[in-house]
Amino acid sequence: MKIYLDNAATTPIDPQVVQAMLPILENNYGNPSSIHSLGRESRVIIEQARKKVASFINAAPSEIFFTAGGTEADNMVLRSAVNDLGVNHIITSPLEHHAVIDTAEHLGSGETVKLSLVKHDAKGHVDLVYLEELLADNKDKKTLVSLMHANNEIGNKISLEKVNALCKKYGAYFHSDTVQTMCHYKFDVRELGVDFLTCSAHKFHGPKGVGFLFINQDVQIKPIITGGAQERNMRAGTENIYGIVGLTKAMEIANENIEEHQNHIQGLKTYMIEQLEKQVPGISFNGDPKGESLYTVLNVTFPNSEMDEMLLYNFDIEGICVSGGSACSSGSNIGSHVLRGINADMTKPAVRFSFSKFNTKEELDITLNVIKELFSINA
């Protein structure tokens, strides 16, 4: 039996989503750009999906653009802001997802764009006072602020309302990568007033390879992928119709049951924290898991262990799927830039446990027993 606790990386697709996609895969193979009946049917399906997605975040359908996922959408925002909106100053965080920080660093490597990085407190929370200082000190520049709603490694959340208010005060554009939080919280873009939000379906039990970008109707940018008139000339390439249907169904399920899922998953995270503190001497947590934190993510630093970089493999051998922090991961031996950024103890193994609606307390008990065995802790 596999215990899957790596939901921040990707989530298992919901069976209801699969059932919604199957008829599209089997029957709706017409190209949405074709004028014949099969093409028109596909176009109707996409536009119906766009309306539904827009309704979930109180956007206009014309503000929703389907993409291949969050990374493409993040790149589209940052690059188009510079190319089309005249942005010559980007403020972001050193703890951002690589889709944002790597793109921002690339854009800021020349002479045209200045890159500023916000400070964080010891727990990894964005310093909003320093953010305002950066905005005030660069009033002569056209600025884009790009800060993720919740960190994908340690779970820390920002207040979209507070950041957006600062951006509006100083005339800056605001983009938030909401890949980890879309469909885990309710969004109302009219109330938030943000300029850009990015989303990826596979983070909330939808299919991989599809997401969307929300662009406020008051903002006009050009595509970074050219070669076709799809997505109202904003994103060339034949639309992933079955992926779009899957994304929409996953959003529908999440929004219908959002409070139930929140309570269930928060209960799992709270239980895991309590049991780790009771059962594992020397345990510590990265970020602010008991404070302003995403309820699906828990990042743990374990006591020194002879296995160190082998810890993830030992979990895997026991049938438990998790992700690492300071341990070697994905072919990189430099460890987590997020944990380095908050001055975590990089000499000790760190593990990210991330939960979903499909996880159970029984799975956590099994995981806790495995942890005690791995660290030779007496029951």
The one-letter code for the residue type at 141 is: K
Taking Cα atoms as reference points, which of 361, 366, 352 lies closest to residue 10?
Answer: 352
Measured CA angle at 155 (ends 67, 276), to 5 deg:
140
Pairing of strands 173-177, 196-200: parallel
Q: Across the chain, how many H-helices and E-strands are there? A: 13, 13
Pairing of strands 211-215, 3-4: unpaired
Identify any residues that bridge with 144 across adjacent strands, giving them in sequence order: 90, 173
The Cα 197–Cα 176 span in angstroms is 5
**Helix residue spans in the chain (DSSP H):** 15-27, 37-56, 70-84, 98-107, 128-137, 160-169, 189-192, 230-233, 241-256, 258-279, 311-317, 337-341, 361-374
Pairing of strands 143-146, 196-200: unpaired
The Cα 231–Cα 107 span in angstroms is 25
What is the CA 193 to chain-centroid distance, rounded? 20
The encoded tokens of residue 152 equal 């994908």
Q: Tell the residue number behind the tokens 């993830």, with chain if given.
A: 312
Return the exposure string of 278-315: e unless at least 16 CB atoms fall within 10 Å of the residue's CB, then b. ebbeebbbbbbbeeebbbbbbbbbbeeeeeeeebbebb
Residue 204, helix vs strand vs coil: helix
Pairing of strands 297-301, 350-354: antiparallel
Q: Exactly one of 167, 199, 321, 328 is catalytic; which is it?
A: 328
Number of Cβ within 10 Å of residue 355's Cβ equals 25
Q: How far is CA 255 from CA 14, 96, 186, in A?
A: 14, 26, 8
Q: Is 328 a catalytic residue?
A: yes
Q: Tell the residue number behind the tokens 């979990």, with chain if given.
A: 315
The Cα 229–Cα 172 span in angstroms is 30
Longest Cα–Cα distance of the chain, Å, equals: 70
Q: Which residues are catalytic?
A: 328
